[in-house]
Amino acid sequence: MNKRRAMRYVLAALLAAGGFSLVASNAAAQQDFLNSFVNPGEKMSLRSERMADGTVGTLNTVAGENGGFQRFEGEGIIILESPRLNLRCNKLLYDGTTGILTATGDIDLKKEGVSATCQDLYYNTANSEIILKGRPVVRQSTEANNALFQGMEVFTITQMENGASEIKMTGGNQIDCQVVPVGQEPIAPGADRTPTPVPTPTPESTDGAAAPSGGFAGLGNNVSITTREKDAKTPPSVNVTTDAAGAFATLTALGLVEVVSETMNLRSESLDYNKSEDLLQALYNVYIRQQEIEATAGRMLYELTSQKITLSINPEVKQTKPDGVLNITQMDSFLMVKNPDGTTTTQAIGGANGAPKYEYIAAAVKPEVTPKATESIELDPNDPAAVDQIGRMEKSKDEKGNSSGSKPRATPGPR
């Protein structure tokens, strides 16, 4: 019998006896299990290492059935590895009777396209719910894009049986959500990001570039959604659902919401995206800026399939051109629609008197001023008035020299 097979028999005997306790010295204390608590049938490895401050790591387990375990706990640098879940922390406890795993201290989690760091973790293996607290920062990678979530107090993700996920972010003063293409890193919160110019025509015109389309929620490939606290009673919250491939299916943000993207800037108190309905809706104190157009309204509805943006509930629009500003008010709604040829048509509809109010303010034209050359003046030294003028000019020069810090010229005395 070789040594490796003998060690397997020893490990099996210890597990059958009901438990196993290890203390990490210079080397790591490690156990391998035939069944992972995440997914039965998958092999799982659990080990404890000495911490940087010299604290000795410990690892205690209670055996379960079929090569698994009923309970385990450890302190130090705890590393748990399995095909579907990798976890690193300073303290770990799992209770098989409840199916609850808790971890604390410098947590680094990786699970099927999601990676996260935090200080506290709660994992209910029965319903696949993971709760992260203590400055959680979460990254999600899919075939289409990378997403970053941070700033919340609590991050909860629940995986459904069909592979879809439900994500809830709550608390904190500000929640940042960013979506970027694969291969790019999210931009740090607060960094300047100027939208790509998207010219928008006057209400009567059909000239201009296309309305925003493509990417995440029709906003392009680089999107930042920031949700701030509205007041002490209304903390920010963001809820997201993803499909089995990890792509965004819905997103709802409540608070003071700000969207910065390649195609537009948007502010509101509620933002709702639904992929299946191809709709993006913003409500309450809506502000939108798209190149030359700035607008406010109570509601914005973006129909992604038809690529039509509708502003309603007291919309007001301002379009700035080099030659002036066009203000459009007193209308029922304002439309921006992308045409098949790539141009965009805008239209102001209705109003108190059946028609919107248009006000055009021409830009002020500043006349060009050509500076005049200083004219030279010839003075006659034999003219008493000219001599007096020369004296005044010399005195003015002396006063200017004194005010600038130069020494006054000495007045010649009598000879």
User: Is 335 inside any structural domain?
Assistant: no
The percent of residues above 70 in pLDDT, for the chain, comes to: 68
The percent of residues above 90 in pLDDT, for the chain, comes to: 24
pTM: 0.71
Cα 349 from Cα 222, distance rounded (Å): 32
Q: DSSP 3-state assignment of 17?
A: coil
Cα 138 from Cα 169, distance rounded (Å): 11
Q: DSSP 3-state assignment of 304?
A: coil
Cα 274 from Cα 217, distance rounded (Å): 8
Structural domains counted in the chain:
1
User: Is 16 inside any structural domain?
Assistant: no
User: Is 357 inside any structural domain?
Assistant: no
Question: Both tokens of residue 412?
Answer: 């010649």
pLDDT tens, position by position, 143-156:
777 888 999 999 99
3 dihedral zone (left: phi>0; alpha: psi -120 to 50; beta): alpha
Q: Which of 256, 317, 273, 310 is nearest to 292 (CA)?
A: 317
User: Is 262 inside any structural domain?
Assistant: yes
pLDDT tens, position by position, 288-317:
988 788 899 999 999 888 888 999 999 999
| pLDDT < 70: residue spans in the chain | 1-42, 56, 63-69, 182-215, 218, 342, 372-381, 383, 385-387, 389-391, 393-415
Question: Both tokens of residue 173?
Answer: 């003063």
pLDDT tens, position by position, 270-284:
999 998 888 999 999
- Please state the φ and ψ torsions of residue 399, each to the nearest 5 degrees: -65, -40
Within 10 angstroms of residue 320's Cβ, the number of other Cβ atoms is: 14
User: Is 40 inside any structural domain?
Assistant: no
CATH number of the domain enclosing 143:
2.60.450.10
User: Is 339 inside any structural domain?
Assistant: no
CA distances to 3, 78, 105, 174 from 91, in Å: 32, 7, 7, 29
Note the residue count of the chain. 415
User: Is 69 inside any structural domain?
Assistant: no
- The answer to whether residues 269 and 230 touch, using CB atoms and an 8 Å cutoff, is yes
Q: Which domain holds residue 211?
A: 136-313
Who's near 39: CB < 8 A, 6+ residues apart? 82, 83, 84
User: Is 61 inside any structural domain?
Assistant: no
pLDDT value at position 298?
A: 95
41 dihedral zone (left: phi>0; alpha: psi -120 to 50; beta): left
Q: Which residues pair with 158 in a beta bridge?
A: 129, 166
- The answer to whether residues 234 and 249 touch, using CB atoms and an 8 Å cutoff, is no
pLDDT value at position 122?
A: 94
Burial class (CB in 10 A: 0-12, 13-18, 19+), 369: exposed
Cα 397 from Cα 374, distance rounded (Å): 17
